[in-house]
Amino acid sequence: MKLPVIKHLTEFIESNDEDYIVETLETLETLTEVTSLKDEELDVIGELISNMYGALEVHKMIKEGTPKKDALNSFMKRVLGSIDV
């Protein structure tokens, strides 16, 4: 996951609607079922999916009243904490 990408996607959600991200996620998840995709292509799709889910999570925290900067930092700390385990 990349914080600048998640931040950019969060701003996109704020300017537009989270439904765009949800529908894009559904499309990308369906693409992962294509058997002819190479591992590198699946890795890219997986990274995009991860960043989009991250942006949705950050957006949820912002809607609940967490300042954007704190929401982004909190999310990344959780992600990094889960990697360290």
Q: What is the pLDDT of residues 21-36, one digit of tens each?
A: 999 999 999 999 999 9
pLDDT, position 84 = 60
Per-residue pLDDT averaged across 35-62, rounded?
A: 96
User: How far is the C-alpha of 83 from the C-alpha of 46, rounded, in Å?
Assistant: 16
The set of long-range contacts for 68-74, using a CB threshold of 8 Å and a minimum separation of 24, is: 68/10, 72/3, 72/6, 72/7, 72/10
Query: 39 pLDDT band (50/70/90 cuts)?
Result: very high
pLDDT, position 78:
85
pTM for the model: 0.89
